[in-house]
Amino acid sequence: MKVSFQKYLLNFKKPSGTSRGILHNKETWFLTLEEGNQKGIGECAVFRGLSADDRPDYEEKLRWVCDNIHLGKTKLLEMLKEFPSIQFGLETAFLSLAGKHPFEIFPSDFVSSQASIAINGLIWMGNDAEMRDQINQKIAEGFRCIKLKIGAIDFETELQLLKTIRNDFSPEAIELRVDANGAFSPTDALQKLHRLAALHIHSIEQPIKAGQINEMASLCENPPFPIALDEELIGVFEKEDKLKLLKTIRPQFIILKPALVGGFLGAKEWIGLADSLGIGWWITSALESNIGLNAIAQWACTLKNTLPQGLGTGGLFTNNFDSPLTVTNGQLWYDSSKSWDVSFI
């Protein structure tokens, strides 16, 4: 088996804001397996500043994978626990290699264009006017679930934006989610949650920074509306530690990004534990190219989760790959009449 990897820099169409700063580009890596006439491609979607495997030896570990591919998928995935984005890319590459087509990872009604996936429309942080423009655009495009990243500008301004949406659209017409990316402090988080609750918010992701376990547990004990863990899951590798975290905090939801939690196998483990504790979940991409997004979407479809998923990031980049992934009226489709163009890999 031949194996190779290469780096690729995805460029944002316009700078995208989070509470951790402004994103202009996104580094990613592609892992390619070749066996006979078959080729498999996986995306190792490291997220600098967020991934547990944002380490100086990242490229060295990719080279190690190439040198040790003879160990096989199962052994390699086990040995790569501390490199979840490489796990994701390697797992996808093996599935891609075994499929009828390199980009048909999980055969389903989604891949045959018979079913779609409900997704949220993502509103990036910006000034008042920029965020209003994004909101109006998403609603015009037919999204019925809107997710706003908050915490970078004045909270009162963010509240006013949410009030504007709620004044025009009932909770039944538009579902509102917010993602604080840990922007609130433990001392003011509950007060802010109560103010948000008046606007019939579906859920909030990571209201306070990860690692404040007791404070997060206190918030989740009796929140005015559901709390979802996101960054809190990053870097938790062992099953017993995952279970301890969920039992301690008892969130209402967890958000699963395969590239950040150990690929599909790692995400499945989180799902099994969450289900056993009555904790809800949904799947989100982590700024992958269409190659990684495609794999995540196909996998998500097999899970039959009816909540809107966070898979609407494919149109963010100027140099993404042409693919059959299409968003129509807040639904992600795999349009099999369209083809892939990965000529620059």
Contact 174, 146 (CB under 8 A): yes
149 catalytic per annotation: yes
Q: Cα 122 vs. chain centroid, distance in angstroms?
A: 11
Token pair of 234 as six digits: 């990053």
- Other beta carbons less than 10 A from residue 275's beta carbon: 11
Of 149, 192, 209, 242, the active-site residue reads: 149
CA distance 65 to 72: 10
Q: Which residue matches tokens 């004044």?
A: 167
Q: How far is CA 7 from each of CA 126, 294, 343, rounded to the nearest angstrom?
A: 29, 19, 14
Determine whether 75 is exposed, middle or buried from the number of CB atoms within 10 Å of its CB (0-12, 13-18, 19+). Answer: exposed
Catalytic residue of the set 26, 147, 209, 257: 257
How far is residue 104 from each of residues 6, 289, 341, measured CA to CA in Å?
Answer: 21, 16, 14
E strand residue ranges, the chain: 2-18, 21-35, 38-44, 117-118, 121-123, 145-149, 175-179, 203-205, 227-229, 253-256, 280-283, 325-328, 331-334
CA neighbours within 13 Å on the CB side: how many for 247?
A: 8
Whose structure tokens read 């190439």?
A: 66
Report the alpha-carbon angle 255-205-231, nearest 5.
Answer: 60
Q: Are 29 and 54 in contact (CB under 8 A)?
A: no
Three-state SS at 245: helix
Q: Does the active-site annotation cover 268? A: no
Contact between 103 and 299 under an 8 Å Cβ cutoff? The reply is no
Give the residue numbers annotated as catalytic, written as ranges.
Answer: 149, 257
